[in-house]
Amino acid sequence: MLIEFSAANFRSINEVQKLTLVAGPGKEHLGQNTFDSGLTGFPRLLRSAVIYGANAAGKTNLLRALQFMQGLVVNSATFQEATRVAHNPFRLSKKTAASPSEFEVAFIDEGVRYEYGFSVDANRVHKEWLIAYPHGRPQNWVERTYHEKKNEYEWQFSAKLKGSPRVWRDATRANALFLSTATQLNSEQLRPIFQWFQKKLVIIGTGGSELNPALTFKLLEQPDGKQKLLQFVHAADLGIDDLSLQRATAAPTMAIGGNIVSEPQPQGPITTLLRVTSYHKASDGEQRVAMDFGDESSGTQRLFQSAGAWLNVLNNGEVILYDELDTSLHPLMTRFLIGLFHYRSTNPKNAQLVFTTHDTSLLDSEIFRRDQIWFIEKDKKGASRLYPLSDFSPRKDEKLERGYLRGRYGALPFIGELKL
């Protein structure tokens, strides 16, 4: 469960910008759009959050910041000593261009709250910290600080951290995270934190990160999985009555596209191809018509290919961050996907959805609480600024879409006049 995330000095983000999924005091949609964190005395959490802003305002960069953090956690232990970190600071200031980027995330996993963060530049991790709350009180398990003048790290470990922290410390390179290294060296206590980043955080659409259609194909090959997939397709009203999967083989030089996915085999040059056929009821209602899935609309193909991932996230109670969720989807289809997270019947494990969009029809108090809506815009110095709708204290019956398009909440593009 994601509580909050913050980033500073990353791409268009200069000063610390924080996105929180802690529910505010409002009572609207309380039982539907929020859930109990499971922690004694801790506030309820939001099932979803939406972020609006003009093109190039920084919406994607906010998601990329968490994606960067995820990538460093999962991969940095494998870096060679000379490997440079893909540091991408805020470049519109000389001060920040030469400074580390900083990231922090707070989340709950298996009933334990964690706060983990680090600062890093292209050459090294400058700070790293991990605070756990296994019994409601903070335990500072790890704190690491680089002292530039001494050219050395200062380390602090809690007595609550089990295992061999000093061995893990000595094995941690300057360009790697202690969390990654210790987990690779079999720290069972830190493994759940590592695996939250690795397995429970799904980030889509930020460039090179797309939903894996293989998850959908795997579902289609399983009898119970196919039933779940058909329920998803029927609920989305795609007009598809049934689906089937066919396997074929082809030479590696064969063109592969549309609804075909390749599965390379280690035995030789033959490639396994998967082809989906969709079945629609004929107009007379007495027979079904088979269609190559490549003939379906781009929106239908996109939704189908992502169905396995959506169902996987909901089934496992994961967190999904989706950039431009509305791409190729009808507004009602986008509402359908959001609804999957808001209804207990489809989201019993409290999965969470954070997404960016330009679809202003979703600015509707019938869909979202006021604390679920966020905006991002560039300030006069070209830096992204993130803020919630609740900052404006809108009335419960306020027409949010109209207010946004009229500039009440900011985060709109400034469109000038073009003279040709």
Residues making up the chain, counted from first to last: 420
Give residue-wise pLDDT tens across range 275-315.
888 888 887 766 788 888 888 887 888 888 888 889 999 99
pLDDT above 80 (res 264): no
Mean pLDDT, to the nearest integer, of 150-169? 95
pLDDT above 60 (res 263): no
Question: Between the ranges 115-129, 283-297, 396-410, where is the mean pLDDT highest?
Answer: 115-129
Q: Assign 148 a pLDDT band (cuts: 50, 70, 90).
A: very high
Whether the CB-CB separation of 17 and 97 falls below 8 Å is answered with: no
Whether the CB-CB separation of 202 and 318 falls below 8 Å is answered with: yes
Sequence-separated (6 or more) residues with CB below 8 Å from residue 287: 281
Whether the CB-CB separation of 356 and 38 falls below 8 Å is answered with: no
Mean pLDDT, to the nearest integer, of 19-39? 95
Q: Assign 253 a pLDDT band (cuts: 50, 70, 90).
A: very low
Residue-averaged pLDDT of the chain: 89
Q: What is residue 418's predicted lDDT score, i.e. its pLDDT?
A: 67
Residue bearing tokens 């592969």: 256
Q: What is residue 273's predicted lDDT score, i.e. its pLDDT?
A: 73
Q: Assign 209 a pLDDT band (cuts: 50, 70, 90).
A: low
pLDDT above 80 (res 4): yes
Q: Assign 211 a pLDDT band (cuts: 50, 70, 90).
A: low
Q: Assign 164 a pLDDT band (cuts: 50, 70, 90).
A: very high
Give the domain ranges of the chain.
2-200+318-405, 214-305
Look at the alpha carbons of 379, 87, 327, 317 in this order and tell me if their dihedral is positive or negative.
negative
Residue 95 CA: distances (Å) to CA of 6, 17, 65, 89, 386 = 20, 18, 20, 10, 21
Give residue-wise pLDDT tens across range 324-346.
988 778 888 899 999 999 998 99
Per-residue burial over 356-372, b = 16 or more CB atoms within 10 Å of its CB, e = otherwise: bbebeebbebebbbbbb
Q: What is residue 259's predicted lDDT score, i.e. its pLDDT?
A: 47
pLDDT above 80 (res 316): yes
Residue bearing tokens 């019994």: 135
CATH topology of domain 2-200+318-405: Rossmann fold (3.40.50)
Q: Phi/psi at 416 (nearest 5 deg)?
A: -90, 180
Between residues 64 and 306, the one the model is more confident about: 64
Q: What is residue 286's predicted lDDT score, i.e. its pLDDT?
A: 67
Q: Assign 243 a pLDDT band (cuts: 50, 70, 90).
A: confident
Of the candidate ranges 40-44, 332-336, 353-357, the one whose mean pLDDT is the lowest: 332-336
Q: What SS3 state is found at 354?
A: strand
Sequence-separated (6 or more) residues with CB below 8 Å from residue 43: 22, 23, 37
Distance CA 51, CA 375 (A): 5
Of the candidate ranges 1-15, 53-67, 280-294, 314-328, the one whose mean pLDDT is the lowest: 280-294
Mean pLDDT, to the nearest integer, of 410-414? 83
Q: Indicate the residue type of 312.
A: N
Query: Strands 17-20 and 2-8, how do they pair?
Result: antiparallel
pLDDT above 50 (res 257): no
What secondary structure letter does DSSP report for 13? B
pTM: 0.90
Whether the CB-CB separation of 177 and 73 falls below 8 Å is answered with: yes
Whether the CB-CB separation of 217 and 245 falls below 8 Å is answered with: yes
Q: What SS3 state is found at 231?
A: helix
Cβ neighbour number for residue 202 with a 10 Å cutoff:
21
Residue bearing tokens 């998850």: 215
Distance CA 243, CA 285 (A): 17
Q: What SS3 state is found at 17?
A: strand
